Amino acid sequence: MDVFLSAPGFEEALIRELGGAARVACRGVVIAEGPSRDLARTDPVFARQVLPGAEALEAPSIARMAHAAVDWVLPRVEAGEGPWRFETLLPDEPEDPHLPGELSRRAALAHGAFLAALKARRRRTWRRLDTAGAPGTPRVQALWVSRGRCYLSHARPALLDGGSWWPSPFPAGRPEVAEDRAAPSRAYRKLVEALAWLGRAPLPGERCVDLGAAPGGWTHVALRLGARVVAVDRAALAPALDGHPRLTQLRGDGFRYTPEDPPVDWLLSDLIAYPARGLALLARWAGARWFRRTVFHLKFKGRADYSTAAEAIRVLREAGYPLARAKHLYHDRNEVTVLGAESRGP
């Protein structure tokens, strides 16, 4: 079976995307029974992480679970050579409201107990553990869903078109986002997270267009990285950004803006619009090759629908952007993040 992590409340959207052949295991966790899917072809918008070929393990105590996990892991890891990673995961909202913190504590203890049991049993295999790790390093994931139950998976990540990896290199598909108190809005987190998924961020001197920029969280991130930004919004940006030497503020309709001297290095868009309108805007920019890379939010209203996101991926690929991916990221709400890039290089 394959186990997928989604944002809580988006399980049904993920199941629809998987063609219905899946069920909710618990909040934020969807299980697709049967033989494991072809990873490179199963990169759902509403799944932030996948545990390919997973199996459920149950044990009444942490010690018993640790030993059972070592039994499960050893033949799989020892069938290969080189480094491997071990990650302990939780769903986004794992806690039983009657026992707050219980599952996180248990998972942390079980993580340590697993490593200790492994070291005692097979020091050589334990030494191959890799904590920093390249994104393609084979990975064991242990997802805790209740006190006595976890799902284990061992897989080598697949390299998708355009150079991104699946399963995601980030535990539970959640890159760390550092707190930035200087940002004018909390939306900065969404861009930082998206850039981590893209594996590439604006470089000093690169040109960015930020559509729907106010109050300026995304613009702040790009400026902090040293990029030059044209920020377009009907509303004003936060006063703290006024007069920044690498910022041009334009008050007006983001849908009508056309870039000077395209392509720009980055198209950033967080415009609020109906999905079809957002998609048409992306198609216009991509078709004209007005950007080299993009982080583009497609908003949705009510029931989450992946068809517009799937269409956005098709539009990008046809326009010659090999990295074309859409994900409902950890910080996303009623939107999905479309990622596009013309190449992996600088």
Ligand X SMILES: C[S@@+](CC[C@H](N)C(=O)[O-])C[C@H]1O[C@@H](n2cnc3c(N)ncnc32)[C@H](O)[C@@H]1O
Nearest one of 292, 277, 273 to 335, comparing CA atoms: 273
Residue at shortest CB range from ligand X: 217
Q: How far is the CB of 160 from ligand X (least distance, A)?
A: 26
Q: Which residues pair with 29 in a beta bridge?
A: 5, 26
CB 11 within 8 A of CB 30: yes
If the CB atoms of residues 117 and 192 are measured against ligand X, the closer one turns out to be 192
Nearest residue (CB) to ligand X, 87 versus 233: 233
Q: 25 or 232, CB closer to ligand X?
A: 232
Task: Report in angstroms how near the CB of residue 168 gets to ligand X at its nearest.
Answer: 23
For ligand X, give the closer residue by CB, 123 or 333: 333
Residue closer to ligand X, measured from CB, 126 or 257: 257
Helix, strand, or coil here: 27? coil
HEC letters along 253-274: CCCCCCCCCCCEEEEEECCCCC
Element (H, E) at 224: helix 217-224
Identify the active-site residue in 119, 299, 301, 327. 299
β-strand partners of 280: none
| Crossing angle for the helix pair 307-318 and 275-287, to the nearest 10 degrees | 10
- As measured in angstroms, the least distance from the Cβ of 237 to ligand X is 8
Examine the residue annotation and report whether 299 is marked as an active-site residue of this protein.
yes
Is the peptide bond prior to 167 cis by the omega test (within 30 degrees of 0)?
Answer: yes
Strands (E), the chain: 2-5, 23-26, 29-32, 49-51, 55-58, 85-89, 139-146, 149-155, 158-159, 165-166, 207-211, 228-233, 247-251, 264-269, 291-299, 323-327, 335-341
**132 and 103 in contact (C-beta within 8 Å)?**
no
Q: How far apart are CA 296 and CA 269, in angstroms?
A: 5
**Of 1 and 211, which has the nearer Cβ to ligand X?**
211
Under the rule (CB under 6 A), what is the footprint of ligand X?
185, 187-188, 212-218, 232-235, 253-255, 270-272
- Give me the least distance between CB of 236 and ligand X, in Å please: 9
Q: State in angstroms the smallest separation of the CB of 258 from ligand X.
A: 13
Residue 48 · residue 168 · CB < 8 Å = yes
88: left (phi over 0), alpha (psi -120 to 50) or beta: beta
CB atoms closer than 10 angstroms to residue 126: 17
> In the bound complex, what is the minimum distance in angstroms from residue 180's beta carbon to ligand X?
11
Q: Give catalytic residue positions.
A: 299
